[in-house]
Amino acid sequence: MSAGRECAAGEAARRRTFAVISHPDAGKSTLTEALALHARAINEAGAVHGKAGRRGVASDWMEMEKARGISVTSAVLQFAHRGCILNLLDTPGHADFSEDTYRVLAAVDCAIMLVDAAKGLEEQTRKLFDVCRHRGVPVITFVNKWDRPGRDALELMDEIQREFSLRPTPVTWPVGPAGYLRGLVDVRDPGHMLRFTRALRGAHEAAEERIRADRAAAEEGGDWDVATEEIELLEADGAVHDQKGFLTGTTTPVFFGAALSNIGVRLLLDAVVDLAPPPGARELAGGGTRPVDAPFAGLVFKVQANMDPAHRDRIAFMRVCSGVFERGMTVTRAASGKPFATKYAHSVFGQDRSMADIAYPGDIIGLVNAAALRVGDTLYAERPAAFPPMPTFSPEHFAVARPADIGRTKQFRRGIAQLGEEGVVQVLVSDVRGEQAPVLAAVGPMQFEVVAHRMAGEFACPVLLEPLAYRLARATDAAGGEALNRSRLVRGEALTRLNDKTVLALFPDVWQANSFERAHPDARLAPLIAAHT
């Protein structure tokens, strides 16, 4: 093995690349910030809603995110902890941004599933877990907000096992019911309890005191007795962490805590280092795998423009999958076979970034002003490689977009094209409507809010959006599209998706689509991937 390959394999073993997933308002961005705080990557944690005297979280950098208190785009935070390099990807929690989250999950090796102590498993949590299972991404569970009233801990464990067919194996266990948290027990060290003193507004780490079992029993009384009995019950039932089961997706290690209070976060952060898998061989589109010690190959999973308002640049986020990446190296874009220069490569921490001279498997690199790159692109050196393409979800909401000021048509076209390339929405055009009135297609209506906000703020071109009464899209071909546009019996129309030239047949409902298929049996209609699968 050459020195370069040995270096790639050794550095890959030190990487942990993971995402945080959850239903909206479960505390995902707060946990992301708390993890960075405990790793000493930041000096003070912010709150998602930016309440009095506190900053917004580093991963929520868009003005709309700060104003609304939700994540509408994924963000990357890279920091070190206990000799490892952690690449943390914060994902949008809202279902309307499922495509962005799906793309992020294609770039990670593990996920932290956040569960609200009071609400348990919620709809978007279920959907995202299904994506993790489909992609073979192992899941660590963090039961959040245990400092507030909530459900019984054993009840939550039963719910995870029942709904996910996933065996929960607690690594930490709460002393005291939800809303009356007295401390945590690391089940690997049951002779002690960890007691926490919350910092003011949770801006700093919670002070942690390690207490012997006899003292905990004397001071906590019944709460300690209940906790130890429940731990013994779980152990007797075989709910003990199994690393092999975790990596194969049959078990999930469970941690309890409160992200806003920074309670239990250090134990979770240590678990990422100790339990989460390092980067491994990745599947190729044509079959086979690309090992981490192969020559360089990377996957572009996200494109984002205007992260730096002063420069209005464009950045392509690339996961290094194999080999060693060096800034300035010339690589090949698999989709075109053309060379691509990597002169401007940055490491990213939320909106902040710095020049990256070298990166290894698992690292996330931002390629600046990479106008030629698209989501799903593979870049490689020496030995050709192509990773499986990113799927596009079936849109369910459609709107015609027009500039509010016809004199800003140039800015309108540039902005819509940019947002389409980023995957904020799908952009559809037809010969009838023309490019001056593209149809925007979205999984959820909040995507249109992002379009309106960014077009006005970043491209100085407010837009008018006219909703269309379509709710169903099917892939077809040119002949099918022509038949649909000529049809007088079926409500619908065909448009071409700009990013891949796929012809989409749009219908108000399934009944209209079925009617068209009966009237035109030779026309091809193929279902697209649904956002809820």
SS3 per residue for 502-514: CEEEEECCHHHHH
**241 labelled ligand-binding:** no
Domain with CATH 3.40.50.300 in the chain: 3-275
Residue 522 marked in a binding site? no
Q: Which two tokens stand for residue 491?
A: 């409500």
- Produce one character per residue of 123-159: b if its CB has 16 or more CB atoms within 10 Å, e if not: ebbebbbebbeeeebbbbbbbbbbbbebbebeebbee
In the block, residue with structure tokens 């089961």: 245
Tell me if the domain spanning 3-275 has CATH number 3.40.50.300.
yes
Amino acid at 113: M
Measure the CA–CA gap between 477 and 483, rounded to whole angstroms. 10
CATH code given to domain 282-380: 2.40.30.10
The annotation status of 462 as a binding-site residue, yes or no, is no
- CATH number among 3.30.230.10, 3.30.1330.200, 3.30.70.3280, 1.10.150.120, domain 397-527: 3.30.70.3280
Predicted TM-score (pTM) of the model is 0.81
Query: In which residue ranges of the chain is CATH 3.30.70.3280 found?
Result: 397-527
The answer to whether the CB of 265 falls within 8 A of the CB of 98 is: no
- Dist CA 375 CA 318 (whole Å): 9
Tell me the pLDDT of the chain (533 aa) as tens digits: 455 667 889 999 999 999 998 888 888 888 988 898 888 776 554 433 333 333 444 444 445 444 444 444 557 888 899 999 999 987 765 555 567 777 888 899 999 999 999 999 988 888 888 888 888 999 999 999 999 999 999 999 999 999 999 999 999 999 999 999 999 999 999 899 999 987 766 667 788 999 999 999 999 999 999 999 999 999 999 999 999 999 999 999 999 999 999 999 999 999 999 999 999 999 999 899 999 999 999 999 988 876 655 555 778 899 999 999 999 899 999 999 999 989 888 877 666 767 788 999 999 998 987 778 888 899 999 999 999 988 777 889 999 999 999 999 999 999 999 888 888 889 999 888 888 899 999 988 888 998 999 899 888 999 999 999 999 999 999 999 999 998 888 899 999 998 888 999 999 999 999 999 999 988 889 988 765 44
Nearest alpha-carbon partner for 107 in 142, 72, 132: 132
Place of tokens 């997706």: 249
Task: Find, among 36, 95, 38, 86, the residue nearest to 60 by Cα.
Answer: 36
Q: Mind listing the pLDDT tens digit for each residue in 65-93?
A: 444 444 445 578 888 999 999 999 877 65
Residue 158 among known ligand-binding residues = no
Residue type for position 47: A
Q: Is 237 annotated as a binding residue?
A: no
| CATH 2.40.30.10 domain residues, the chain | 282-380
